[in-house]
Structure 1
Amino acid sequence: MYVLNGWLTLWQDTTGDGEFDALVEAVGEIRAMFDSVAPFTVNWSLEPVNGTYYLRITVDANRRRDEAADVERIIRKACVLLPGSWGVFYERDDEAVEPPGSNAFRVWAVARGEISYREDPFLSPCNPIIED
């Protein structure tokens, strides 16, 4: 099983201000990238709330496949286009052999348009915290 769930607040810069037309153009570019992503295993939305755009992504696949790479590519592109973006994604791959392994989540922390990978302190280890 491979799952990823999270959100990204899309900002052009770290002040949250910026040229609205340029923001809308970048959002359109990000939205278009989802056209090539598997619709049965990836659910996403990219909508404004009070003038701020939010990207929400959920992946639920039998195993890590192209969807994972596609989603990571889109998140990285969003960070390039909108370097003030920030958010968090939780990823779990029950076939992972590299840390954090199959019994833990890996957290993608996005700040200032950069992704860092961190250990999860809340839901890991999955067994016994969320599973028996």
Structure 2
Amino acid sequence: MFEYKGWITLEFDPYEEDFTKLKEQISLLENTLHTFNTFSQFSTIINCNESYILPLIGVLNHENGILEEMKALLRYIGEILPASYGVVYYRDHEGSSSNNYFIIRLSKGKLEEFADNILSPCFPIIEN
């Protein structure tokens, strides 16, 4: 099984009061997201008082390339909305590191990946 959970705050310029450019880029992103959703994945842009958030949730039987798709999506977000930031936690139950979570961080248009030390190792911290 492959699972991921995360959030991205979508921003074009954190100091800009005019939301025109932000809304244009959000519209572009919405057109891309429709290909990312399936019966085992969820992503939709939420508008909370003109603050846009993208939750990313998925539980799939196998990784099957979704990790690279997700990283490509996050890179795209970093390009069109350069002030966006957030994290995605993921775990591949079938991989060589099945006892660990990993974190992908988007900040200032860059992706970085880290080994998690809060929920990992999964056994014994969150599993018996």
Q: With the length of structure 1 as denominator, give the TM-score of the two structures.
A: 0.88
Unaligned runs of 5+ in 1: none
State the 4+ residue runs in structure 1 displaced beyond 4 angstroms.
Answer: none
Stretch deviating more after TM superposition (54-63 or 38-47): 38-47
Whole-Å Cα distance in 2 between the matches of residues 30 and 104 of structure 1?
31
Percent identical: 28
Whole-Å Cα distance in 2 between the matches of residues 129 and 80 of structure 1?
36
Number of equivalent positions: 128
Contact 1:84 1:112 in 2 (8 A): yes
Amino acid at match of 1:125: P
Residue 18 of structure 1 and its aligned partner are, at CA, apart by 5.7
Matches within 5 A, 1:29-108: 29-97=28-96, 101-108=97-104
1:119 aligns with 115
Aligned CA-pair RMSD: 1.5
Whole-Å Cα distance in 2 between the matches of residues 41 and 75 of structure 1?
19
In the superposition, relative to structure 1, how do residues 19 and 87 fare at CA in structure 2: closer, same or farther (>3 Å)?
same
Unaligned runs of 5+ in 2: none
Whole-Å Cα distance in 2 between the matches of residues 67 and 114 of structure 1?
19
Amino acid at match of 2:71: E
